[in-house]
Structure 1
Amino acid sequence: MKKRLLAALMAGAMALTMTACGGSGDDSQTGAPDADAGQTDGAADAGETYKVGIVQLVEHDALDAATKGFQDALTEALGDAVSFEFNNAQNDSNTCSTIVNGYVSSGVDLIMANATPALQAAAAATGDIPILGTSVTEYGVALEISDFSGTVGGNISGTSDLAPLDQQAAMLQEWFPDAKNVGLLYCSAEPNSQYQVDVVKAELEKLGYTCTLYAFSESNDLSAVCTTAAEASDVLYVPTDNTCANNSGIIDNICRPAKVPVIAGEEGICKGCGVATLSISYEDLGRTTGEMAAKILTGEADISTMAIEYAPATKKYNKTICDELGLTAPEGYVEIEA
């Protein structure tokens, strides 16, 4: 009887030990861009802790910078009280849904959705867990809100990467006043890209340009569509399009040898294939999102009343491509760092 009792006690002790090891709560950060950067130790002595799930559509410079800025700002605000679970959807909207459903099942305290398909997946998955979007161009378009006035309401808010589209059209005219045909290259699977090219096209037509939309549905079609666009255009415009950003090298390999300049909607695309951009800092955009998250998690702010926030835009140019194409930047442009 004593032997049985001793065996039972030992088994119970082993079970407790295994449970303690298995439930450590470590972050799952597969492919996370510097997720622990800036963490401070002991920021929450005995207070609440928070788990934040991050779903990022695809890996490229702009989205990576937004995620980094978000994590840095939120960690600076909450220290060890916050931990992150990061997942990259590899540019697949169905994978975004799988990731977000996992976060909902595990009961995270907040979801950060980086890019429009990630936001759409999060919005479809939960109406209760707070959702902050970032790198989303137009929330009304992304969430199909016909009378969008700047505040989504419910459990959703965030930050927008939209630089003024009329100013982007004016910038194209500033660089290429004598051009006649402008091709607008974008992925038709991204609703915010469609929104941008529609607005820019209308603005360019007011300025006297002949504009043609060149849409591709997936990255496998990009090369053929871009080649057609370059052959028929004096200059190309590329919006803040995730598929283009992830494949800017393809665009550059077609347009630069053909001497067709590209005006880009954001700095990452411009760095890869463009001559100029009116762009925001995605790291600053992410930091603003992280500051919003800190207020939501600590109860300082109600997400349902938080308006979408925007970042200031700066005129920048790609010196390497400009030099090769024989272009000189107008006054007021900042060189993109290599």
Structure 2
Amino acid sequence: MKRIFLFLFLPFLSYGFEILAPIKNSIHEEEFATVSVKLTKDEIDKGVSLEFKTDKDYFMFGMDPERKVYCKSLKIKPGTNIVEIIYTDGDGKQTKKSVEIFRYSILYKVSEEPPSKFEEKPFHTRKNEERCKNCHDMRSLPEDMIPESPEKSPCYSCHKVLTSRKKVHAPSANWACNYCHIDVGLSYQRYETPFPISEKCFSCHEYREKVWMNKKYVHGPTSTGQCNICHNPHSSNNIFFLKKPIWNLCTSCHAEKASGTHVLAGFVFGKSHPTRGRPDPSRPGRELVCSSCHNPHASNYKYMFNNDYTGDRYICQMCHKK
């Protein structure tokens, strides 16, 4: 006796939204990552909300029947980040997807060495831009062009968050992005900056290059041209566009100085010299920090003393003149 199997095919709703950005296992250097998600027609018709989540940030969209792609920049922490997308339909059913990315910085222990699965994957390829051009202006501005206003820059709509911090670097403030990010016209990547980045930095700060590179001792990041180890080229909440407050920045690499006192034992009545938490006599109104005594770029003295002092007692006399 033969058995006959009947298969009944019923229509069902399948949610398969696409995460356009960030790219899976990509490496990021900024504290923000752009998240972009494309919905299917079914999801647009049946959707209620779309949530973007990282360990540092969260945002929820309500559904717009005229909108297929949703974008938002979220904060990410140093090291590994999981970007999670949660889609909720009208029946309360949720569909979740996620991508893992890495924020690289040598200023944090957890982020100084990316695991092997993470790679630098530039987003601005011709292929990716094809998917964005329906909503975004993907033109490349001439190198010397400054837009009439931020909103006139094709970069603004996606990257405006990069200027959201208190102090904004001049090229970013003027949205002259193509001065540093050159469109090299390749199909696989665009808007790369040179490595080391000092090639771009010294094109404006040329006087600094002449002064620092002729000193006897040059600090590591300066000598290797990696200005962006310490400085954020877009904006910062700290003085001099630093990625951390001065004392915290210095002790990120010079961890042995993080006790808050200087290594010179017995300096003052058996006590070590403080490195923070005191007023700076040489710079009224500012707090004592590492750069009160040491030049973070270059010096003619082996301890990188300010003003090219060639002996310990001279640096002391900056504050202790009696």
TM-score by length of 2: 0.33
Query: Which is helix-richer, 1 or 2?
Result: 1
- Structure with more relative contact order (C-alpha pairs < 8 Å, separation 6 or more): 1
TM-score by length of 1: 0.32
